[in-house]
Amino acid sequence: MAKTMYEKIWDAHLVHEDKETVSVIYVDRQLVHEVTSPQAFEGLRISGRKVRCPNKTFATMDHNVPTRSKDLALASETSRRQMEQLKKNCDEFGVRCFDFMDDDQGVVHIIGPEMGLTQPGMVIVCGDSHTATHGAFGALAFGIGTSEVEHVMVTQTLQQKRSPTMLISVDGELQPGVTSKDVILYIIGQIGTAGATGYVVEYAGSVIRDMSMEGRMTVCNMSIEAGARAGMVAPDDTTFTYLQGRDFAPKGDNWVKAVSYWKTLKSDPDAKFDKVIKINAGDIAPQVTWGTSPGQVTSVAGEVPSPDSFEDPVARKAAQGALNYMGLKSGVKITDIPIDVVFIGSCTNGRIEDLRAAAMVIKGKKVAPSVQALVVPGSNRVKRQAEKEGLDKIFVAAGCEWRHAGCSMCLAMNDDQLKPGQRCAATSNRNFEGRQGPGGRTHLVSPETAAASSVTGRLTDIRIFLANNK
């Protein structure tokens, strides 16, 4: 019978199958960070259990880390305690930890792929909702809670029900200035923040095929913002070329065997999806969120909508609440909205390609005097690579702050926070109330749009910006 990629990976991981109730699936990789793991390790200690497969478990510190300098003394006492606890837990249970001072430390969803820990056909979990990022490699990857983290530590498996499948196909040509970030924001705007709840989404079509691994990761990363359990892209030569030679990628004979297996993973041509959505790439403009939910998004050439334009009373009320919180009036042009802060980074857009794109836009220009611009590489490796290419110098010359790797202002658990009322153009993934700091106002955009907005001091149409700055 024809199968989707998800079904192939699912079938290959069944430890116990019960179609009526719940199945048990094997987990190839568990990634761990400091915020959602301490209670799981404590659970092991209380029950006297071990981590079943320490060699399949990898940890890093990212949510809490200071980014101004490599100095733990900059972290709050509670943050420091949480990081020290992770190190202690990893030492006690034999788990490899890329800790704060490690050369390979970084945002968990950046370092997994860049070290080759993320591979096609794997089941990958992490106590973090953006785990879907790893699906870009044709892995089944999803976020779990701390009880489940402990469950995987003990059993190397998870209890799961088979999910329904959704195919989102993006075909046609993207307009200049439109990035993978705009593609996923547009998709979320089309299907809604709960549009894919419970589904495993496969992204396909010529636009996804033509994307780099970095672009595919950005798309899969935000699957959760449409409610999806996971998002994935079929592995192909782009995937294999990216992976070959990376630290934890298979080597020698194993590489050959692995690649021939990975080539079998793509969905069969006649496989049935429970839902199919087709997106015309030409319809996608650079996107900007105007509200407090990622689905409250529009074209950069558009206006802040009127709550009355929403038929559904619940959506209307949500829009009204969002406009109040965001301090915006309906009818205002998006490009007339001034900003105070620009944040370039996160597991969505903190990879080398994102920094290259932002640097290209900002090169030779100056950040507006009223704007604070933070550039936070997703990992130490990304930072080193960017410095090798001289990107740091471009950012600093423009007036940006060049920071150390971490989650930083995406969720503002460290001291990188918006002040109440400050408005930010952010390349991260969530514009929730208070996400970037209590009272902070977030507009989600691509790295290119963020960089251009830092120069003009307002939300900016990258297409016009590029045309005016040839």
> Which lies closer to other proteins via its Cβ, residue 218 or residue 460?
218
Our CB check for other proteins shows the closer of 56 and 458 to be 56
Nearer to other proteins, 147 or 468 (CB): 147
Residues in the chain: 470
Which residue, 33 or 403, has its beta carbon nearer to other proteins?
33
Closer to other proteins at the Cβ: 5 or 178?
5
- Crossing angle for the helix pair 77-93 and 38-47, nearest 10 degrees? 40
Closest contact distance (angstroms) between CB of 259 and other proteins is: 10
Q: Which is nearer to other proteins, 318 or 391 (CB)?
A: 318
Q: How far is the CB of 59 from other proteins (least distance, A)?
A: 14
Nearest CA to 19 out of 162, 171, 175, 200 is that of 162
Q: How far is the CB of 12 from other proteins (least distance, A)?
A: 9
Closer to other proteins by Cβ: residue 227 or 377:
227
* Shortest Å, Cβ 428 to other proteins: 12
Q: How far is residue 205's CA from residue 189's CA, in Å, rounded to a whole number? A: 19
CA distance 231 to 217: 10
> What are residue 170's DSSP bridge partners?
279
Write down the least CB distance from residue 466 to other proteins, Å: 33
Name the residue nearer to other proteins (CB basis): 65 or 285: 65
Tell me whether residue 12 or residue 397 sits nearer to other proteins (CB atom).
12
> What 3 state SS string does the chain have?
CCCCHHHHHHHCCEEECCCCCCEEEECCEEEEECCCCHHHHHHHHHHCCCCCCHHHEEEECCCCCCCCCCCHHHCCHHHHHHHHHHHHHHHHHCCEEECCCCCCCECHHHHHHHCCCCCCCCEEEECCHHHHHHHHHCCEEEECCHHHHHHHHHHCEEEECCCCEEEEEEECCCCCCCCHHHHHHHHHHHHCCCCCCCCEEEEECHHHHCCCHHHHHHHHHHHHHHCCCEEECCCCHHHHHHHCCCCCCCCHHHHHHHHHHHCCCCCCCCCCCCEEEEEEHHHCCCEEECCCCCCCEEECCCECCCHHHCCCHHHHHHHHHHHHHHCCCCCCEHHHCECCEEEECHHHHCCHHHHHHHHHHHCCCCCCCCCEEEECCCEHHHHHHHHHCCHHHHHHHHCCEECCCCCHHHCCCCCCCCCCCCEEEECCCCCCCCCCCCCCEEEECCHHHHHHHHHHCECCCHHHHHHHCC
Q: How far is the CB of 83 from other proteins (least distance, A)?
A: 10
- Report, in Å, the least distance between residue 451 CB and other proteins: 26
In whole angstroms, the minimum distance from the beta carbon of 360 to other proteins comes to 32
- Of 64 and 460, which has the nearer Cβ to other proteins? 64
The CB-of-182 to other proteins minimum distance in angstroms stands at 21
Q: Could you report how far apart the first and last alpha carbons of the chain are, in Å?
A: 54
Nearer to other proteins, 379 or 414 (CB): 414
